[in-house]
Copies of this chain bind each other. A is one copy, B any other.
Amino acid sequence: MIQLDFEKTGGLIPAIVQDMKTAEVLMLAYMNQEAFERTVQTKKATYYSRSRRTLWVKGETSGHVQHVHEILVDCDLDTLVLKVEQVGGAACHKGYKSCFFRAVQGGELKTIDQKVFDPEKVYR
């Protein structure tokens, strides 16, 4: 098995999630060794939730799972890029396609995208 460097960052490494077709960055999440292995085995993105302190299959509540088509590893073996097919067309729990739906413009944050779904209807 591939040896990633989980030690440097206290057991969790960041995974950048990119839409495999558009190359848009959808989100960033964290993985421990087990989340990485499950993602490789199941090809369904599985992360470690820092707030809930547990493994988390992306989309288990919303249905917006991520099918993983490619995993890239960086030069330091401590960061991943996942190229995914995003079911439901939205990765962000706030209803946007990408968690990065705001831009820094003139010293303020401006929303630059539109919601794909209503979070109150999806997370009940």
Whether A81 pairs with B2 at a CB distance below 8 angstroms is no
> What 1/0 mask marks residues of chain A from 77 to 92 whose CB sits below 8 Å from any chain B CB?
0010100000000001
Q: Given the interface contacts A16-B25, A28-B14, does A76 sit within 8 Å of B104 by beta carbon? A: no
Given contacts A99-B74, A104-B73, contact A28 B2 (CB under 8 A): no
Copies in the complex: 2
Smallest beta-carbon distance A22→chain B, Å:
8
Cβ of A38 within 8 Å of any chain B Cβ, yes or no, is: no
With known contacts A23-B23, A23-B24, A2–B99 Cβ distance under 8 A: no
What is the size, in residues, of chain A's interface with B at 8 Å between Cβ atoms? Answer: 35
A94 touches B75 (CB 8 A): yes
CB proximity of A56 to chain B, nearest CB, Å: 15
A2 CB contact (under 8 Å) in B23, B79, B94, B108: B108
A1-35 interface bits toward B, Cβ cutoff 8 Å, 1 = contact, 0 = none: 11000000000001010100011110110000000
Residues facing B in A77-124 (CB within 8 A) are 79, 81, 92-94, 96, 99-104, 107-109, 112
